[in-house]
Amino acid sequence: MKELQALYREAIRRHAAQPVGFRKPIEATHAHECSNPLCGDRVEIRMKLVSGMIEDIAFDGEACTICMASASLLCEQATGQPADRLRSLHESLRAALHDQAELEDDDTLAPLLGVRPYPSRIRCATLPWEAAVQAIL
């Protein structure tokens, strides 16, 4: 179990240090910004949606390591997916963090489960996903 936790921590560090989609210029059709006043995270998600598919996605903002890594994972997972898949992944992540539910068949988001023991950090992990879902409403 400790080896798995170490692997997850490394994935978070890697995504925070070299975030996928960070400040990437795209021709966005949808965008939304969310913030967390408790810790100062602010993230804007920008997407290019074509016929209900996420053709491109990027983010900008200033955020903690967990929030940056979560936004990076979002960009990595959402590209080429239907918008509905984004909603589904968001709900799965939220349920896994708040209710200890299993993640919806997507182990790539498992590194974010490391915040479960720290309720004040759960918002850091879910903020980019919330912004993304709000952008497509």
Question: What is the sign, positive or negative, of the torsion defined by CA atoms of 61, 62, 65, 67?
Answer: negative
pLDDT digits (tens, 9 = 90+) for 8-60: 889 999 999 999 999 999 999 999 999 999 889 999 999 999 999 999 999 99
Domain total in the chain:
1
Which amino acid is located at 123 in the chain? R
pTM to 2 decimal places: 0.94
Q: Could you list the residue range(s) of the whole structural domain that residue 64 is in?
A: 2-136
Q: How far is CA 124 from the centre of its chain?
A: 9
- Dihedral angle sign, alpha carbons of residues 114, 120, 121, 125: positive
Give the tens place of pLDDT for each residue, 101-120: 889 866 789 999 999 989 99
Here the CATH number for the domain that contains residue 99 is 3.90.1010.10
The pLDDT of residue 46 is 98
**In which band, very low, low, confident or very high, does the pLDDT at 100 lie, cut at 50, 70 and 90?**
confident
Give me the residue label for tokens 């804007």: 44
- Spatial strand order of the sheet with 53-62 comes to 30-36, 41-50, 53-62
